[in-house]
Amino acid sequence: MKQDYGDNILSLEDIHTYYENIHALKGITCTIPQGSIVCLIGANGAGKTTTLLTISGVESARRGRILFEGREIEKLPPEKIAALGIAQSPEGRQIFSRMSVLENLEMGAYLRKDKEGIQKDMEWVFSLFPVLKDRHRQMGGTLSGGEQQMLAIGRALMQQPKLLLLDEPSLGLAPKIIEKIFETIQEINKNGMTIFLVEQNAHMALTTSDIGYVMETGRIVLEDDASALLENEEVQKAYLGE
Amino acid sequence: MLGQEIKKLVVYTIFLTIIILPMLGFTGGAEFQAKRAFVVLGVGVALLVLNLIVKVIRSHRPLPEHDQPSITERIADRLHQIPKIFTIGPLLLAAVIFPLVANNYMIDVGITCLIYVCLGLGLNIVVGLCGLLDLGYIAFYAVGAYSYSLLNLTYGFSFWAALPIGVVLGMICGCIIGYPTLKMRGDYLAIVTLGFGEIIRLVLNNWDDLTAGPNGLFGMKRPPLYYPAFEEGGLEMVTYYLTSLPGLFYFILVIVILTTIGVNRLDKSRIGRAWIAIREDEVAAELSGVPTTWIKLLAYAMGAGFASIAGAFFAAKLSYVNPNFFLFMESCIVLCIVVLGGIGSIPGIIIAGFILIAVPEVFRELEGFRMLAFGAIMTTMMIIRPEGLIPASRRKRELHHRRDEAERGSK
């Protein structure tokens, strides 16, 4: 059984999203408690990325409600949602490759006006990912895969979000770097930020998270505490390869 | 190595023969002018042989330890280091002196160059900064030109009164093409904008009642200047119409300077940053809170606005417009200016504007060969220097860092 984690920062209620005629999300319902790490695992094409993009407003839900801090956001454009405090680090390390690392981070703070706060957060991002500080003048596109992932997360953090959405932070990275990134994710969470994580690397995601959701072809098929899911036989068979 | 080079030489020679002999041999009549054709072919082949010799000599020299930046890149580097006053000052001085020493033909070409620089700077916003490929850009130039012509001929609006109206109309047209294409990119966008450019031209060509069709409109007043004069009845404003070529040259020079300052400001602003972010990755820009819809429409509107200014000036200068001034070819030339100059680079575009407009004039003597020379220069440029004449500092830095990386990797 799921434990009670207190107030939900975000809840999705029966979300349906379509790409033209393809029914990508077929009624997603899930909740993300304040201050937790929640992960959504599932195979390729299950609709994980679509779920995140629907939350951020890049894709629009045809049916259902999304509540962020009690406010309906499913009809808002992406920039309004970003302004409310939801930041997303997109899949496949979509950084601005012909901008320097510094400029990438500054783009993250695009909506912010508080110069001191931006400077402080910049320092914080550099302390989380010291390699970014070493390369702050380098073009984003010339970074290695792991560094680009760090930059994408850093850029999202520069938005000073209340909820951080991470789309496959482990994609295409070496095991050692994946570990480092997940450690940092936990550190960010300890700072009080709620994190919603989408992953194919089920083992890493579930050991890091508090709550887990399992997704299959546009539907959520399982939800439980992450530790319970790790023990779940079906999950072990399908996603943990045991 | 040598064998391969010789093979290349033979292939190129055959290629040149096929192109040059018929093209230069049969100018003006059916008679084959062997001497002229073979002289040009000889020069071409000699250049190829020289190239081969240089290559062979180079291959015998030991490789330099560090990958030296190419000479043009070094020049660009230097240019960025020199304080602006020393680079811009002499350029401006040259521009100011130019009409005093040049003949009317040269001034006329100079004016055309400046008009195209203005167009290039405007298109740079759409293509260079925002990354939206626009093949129908000349349509906004046409809108500016026809707005002034119609307002002046029908209602007697002066240039200064018609200019803002033309700019606003141009911006509206920019938004009209921008809105339906918001979700398009690359090839699709190029095709739609191409179609839009043709639509505008065809409307101008066929709406006889308004635009006089292919006959065009004529008799527009030149741009006026007003200055105060003391007369019997007190202070009076005297209108002076700029009819002389040097006067018009200075006028468009001022427009280009203002455009350059404007585009430069935009480039460095928050909006400019947002445009570049959209060019790099639209979804990521959206997620960072950039209102992509508005910012993209703004790019179209700003680009169209600058083209309208150039168009209004063009109509006023010539006192004549007809739809054939606004062919697809013109859009292509403006796009070439942006690409050749270095996408996103303001100084590059200014230089490319002069090269692309002035070079065909220089080659006028070559007759049928002229556009071929033009094409050859473009092709060669894109092969040897894809980043443009003066790459934008952003691009240059990127290349610079690549080199740093390579050096670090080799240690």
Contact A191, A212 (CB under 8 A): no
Q: Do B289 and A100 touch (CB under 8 A)?
A: no
| pLDDT for the residue numbered B249 | 92
Q: Of the candidates A160, A187, A216, which is a domain's last residue?
A: A160
In chain B, residues with a C-beta closer than 8 Å to the C-beta of A156 are 287
Same domain, A74 and A177: yes
Select from B287, B402, B271, B401 the least CA-distant residue to A152. Answer: B287
* B289/A94 CB distance under 8 A: no
Say yes or no: B147 and B13 in one domain. no
Residue A164, pLDDT score: 95
Is A81 part of a structural domain of the chain? yes
- In this complex, the residue of A53, A97, A108 whose CB is nearest that of residue B288 is A108
Chain B residues inside the 8 Å CB shell of A95: 280-281, 284
The tens digit of pLDDT for each residue in A76-88 reads 999 999 999 999 9
Cα distances from B171 to residues A19, A86, B260, in angstroms, run 33, 34, 18
Percent of chain A scored above 90 by pLDDT? 66
pLDDT greater at residue B326 or residue A91: B326
Residue A113's domain comprises: 95-160
Q: Is residue A223 part of a domain?
A: yes
Whether the Cβ atoms of residue A154 and residue A125 lie closer than 8 Å to each other: yes
Q: Are residues B163 and B231 in the same domain?
A: yes
B35 inside domain: yes
Q: Do A118 and A13 have their domain in common?
A: no
- pLDDT digit string (tens) for A13-66? 999 999 888 899 999 999 999 999 999 998 888 899 999 999 999 999 999 999
Instruction: Clarify whether residues B51 and B128 are in a common domain.
Output: no
Buried b (16+ CB within 10 A) or exposed e, B242-257: beebbbbbbbbbebbe
The pLDDT of B41-55, averaged and rounded, is 83
A107:B401 CB<8 A: no
A18 and chain B in contact, CB less than 8 A: no
Position A191 in a domain: yes
Do A37 and A55 belong to one domain?
A: yes
pLDDT band at B18 (very low <50, low <70, confident <90, very high): confident
Flag whether B159 is in a domain: yes
Q: Which helix (H) or strand (E) holds B217?
A: strand B217-218
Determine, yes or no, domain membership for A120. yes
pLDDT tens figures, B345-380? 888 898 888 888 887 777 776 666 667 777 777 777
Does A77 sit within 8 Å of B287, measured CB to CB? Answer: no
Residue B234: inside a domain: yes
Q: Assign residue B336 the CATH number of its domain.
A: 1.10.3470
Q: What does residue A201 show for φ and ψ, rounded to 5 degrees?
A: -75, 80
pLDDT at B398: 47
Answer whether A106 sits within 8 Å of B273, measured CB to CB: yes
What ipTM was reported for this prediction? 0.88
Domains identified in chain B, total number: 2
Which tokens belong to A195? Answer: 């994190």
For residues A8 and A119, membership in a common domain is answered with no
8 Å CB contact of B290 and A110? yes
Least confidently predicted of A52-66, B231-245, B333-347: B231-245
Mean of pLDDT values over A199-205: 90
Domain annotation covers residue A211: yes
- A92: closest chain B residue by CA: B284
A-interface mutation test, from B278, B288, B290, B295, most A Cβ less than 10 A away: B288
Contact B288 A94 (CB under 8 A): no
Same domain, A72 and A184: yes
Touching check for A78 and chain B: CB below 8 Å? yes
A144 and A133 in a single domain? The answer is yes
**To probe the interface with A, which of B130, B287, B393 has the most A CB atoms within 10 Å?**
B287
Tell me the average pLDDT across B134-142.
Answer: 93
What pLDDT is stored for residue B28 in this prediction?
60
Same domain? B36 vs B118? no
Over residues A185-204, mean pLDDT: 92
Confidence band of B242 (pLDDT split at 50, 70, 90): confident
Assess whether B377 and B264 both reside in one domain.
yes
CA-based nearest residue in chain B for residue A90: B284
Kindly determine whether residue B287 and residue A88, on different chains, have CB atoms separated by under 8 Å: yes
Least confident of A109-118, B61-70, B126-135, B210-219: B61-70
Indicate yes or no: CB of B277 within 8 angstroms of CB of A56: no
Q: Is the pLDDT of residue A133 over 70?
A: yes
Residue ending a domain, among A160, A179, A208, is: A160
Q: What is the CATH number of the domain that holds A1?
A: 3.40.50.300
Q: Given CB atoms, is A159 within the 8 Å cutoff of chain B?
A: yes
Residue B77 has pLDDT above 90, yes or no: no
Q: Is A48 on the interface with B (CB under 8 A)?
A: no
Q: Are B139 and B203 in contact (CB under 8 A)?
A: no
Q: Is A90 among the domain residues?
A: no
* Residues B143-160: tens digit of each pLDDT: 999 999 999 999 989 899
Boundary of a domain, candidates B20, B45, B60: B60
- Structure token pair of residue A209: 């998270």
Q: Do A90 and B284 touch (CB under 8 A)?
A: yes
| B interface test, pick of A96, A97, A113, A167 with most B CB neighbours within 10 Å | A96
Nearest to A98 among B290, B394, B405 (CB): B394
Q: What is the mean pLDDT of chain B?
A: 82
Contacts with B273 from chain A: Cβ below 8 Å = 103, 106-107, 110
Instruction: Flag if A103 and B273 touch (Cβ within 8 Å).
Output: yes
Q: In the block, which residue shows the tokens 């950039």? A: B290
C-beta atoms of B288 and A107 within 8 A: yes
The Cα B321–Cα B220 span in angstroms is 9
Facing A107 at nearest CB: one of B277, B283, B397: B277
Distance (Å) from the alpha carbon of B411 to chain A's nearest alpha carbon? 18
pLDDT above 50: residue B88: yes
Distance (Å, whole) CA B248 – CA B313:
9
Domain assignment of residue B41, yes or no? yes
Taking CA atoms, what residue in A is nearest to B288? A108
Average pLDDT over residues B214-240: 81
Q: For residue A141, is pLDDT > 90? A: no
pLDDT value of residue B79 = 66
Average pLDDT, chain A: 90
Which residues are CB-neighbours of B357 under 8 A, at least 6 positions away? B109, B112, B113, B116, B333
Residues A3, A109 within the same domain: no
Q: Which domain holds residue B110?
A: 87-410
Q: A172 phi and psi, to 5 degrees?
A: 70, 20
pLDDT of residue B74: 67
pTM, rounded to two decimals: 0.81
Give the model's confidence band at B399: pLDDT under 50 very low, under 70 low, under 90 confident, else very high. very low
- Put simply, whether A60 touches B (Cβ < 8 Å) is no
User: pLDDT at position B258, please?
Assistant: 93
Q: Does B67 map to a domain?
A: no
Same domain? B101 vs B50:
no
CA angle B35, B36, B37 (to 5 degrees): 95
> Does one domain contain both A150 and A61?
no
Percentage of chain B surpassing pLDDT 70?
A: 84
Which chain A residues are within 8 Å of B295, Cβ to Cβ?
none
Asked whether residue B66 carries a pLDDT value surpassing 70, the answer given is no
Q: Are residues A176 and A125 in the same domain?
A: no
Please measure the distance between the N-terminal and C-terminal CA atoms of chain A and give it in whole angstroms. 23
Q: Which of B276, B283, B398 sits opposite A90 (nearest CB)?
A: B283
A-B interface: how many C-beta pairs under 8 angstroms? 86
Select the residue of B273, B394, B402 nearest A107 (Cβ to Cβ). Answer: B273
Whether residues B349 and B236 fall in one domain: yes
Looking at the predicted structure, is the pLDDT value of residue B68 above 70? no
Contact A90 B291 (CB under 8 A): no
The pLDDT value given to residue B69:
55
Tell me: do A240 and A179 sit in the same domain: yes
Q: Which of A54, A59, A98 to mutate to test the interface with B (most CBs of B within 10 A)?
A: A98
Q: Are residues B404 and B296 in the same domain?
A: yes
Does A77 lie in the same domain as A9?
A: yes
Q: Are A106 and A214 in the same domain?
A: no
Query: Taking residues A77-106, what's their average pLDDT?
Result: 90
- Given A145, A160, A175, which residue is the final one in a domain? A160
Is there a single domain that holds both residue B113 and residue B161?
Answer: yes
In angstroms, the separation between the Cα of residue A215 and the nearest Cα of chain B is 23
Q: Say which range, A30-34, A143-147, B389-393, has the weakest mean pLDDT.
A: B389-393
For chain A, the domain total comes to 2
B283 chain-A contacts, CB cut-off 8 A: 53, 58, 90, 94
B236 and B337 both lie in a single domain = yes
Confidence at B171, pLDDT banded by 50, 70, 90: very high
Task: Express each pLDDT in B257-310 by its tens digit.
Answer: 999 999 989 988 999 999 999 998 889 999 999 999 999 999 999 999 999 999
> CA-CA-CA-CA torsion for B203, B204, B208, B209, nearest 10 degrees?
90
A198 lies in some domain: yes
- Pair (B236, B332) in one structural domain: yes
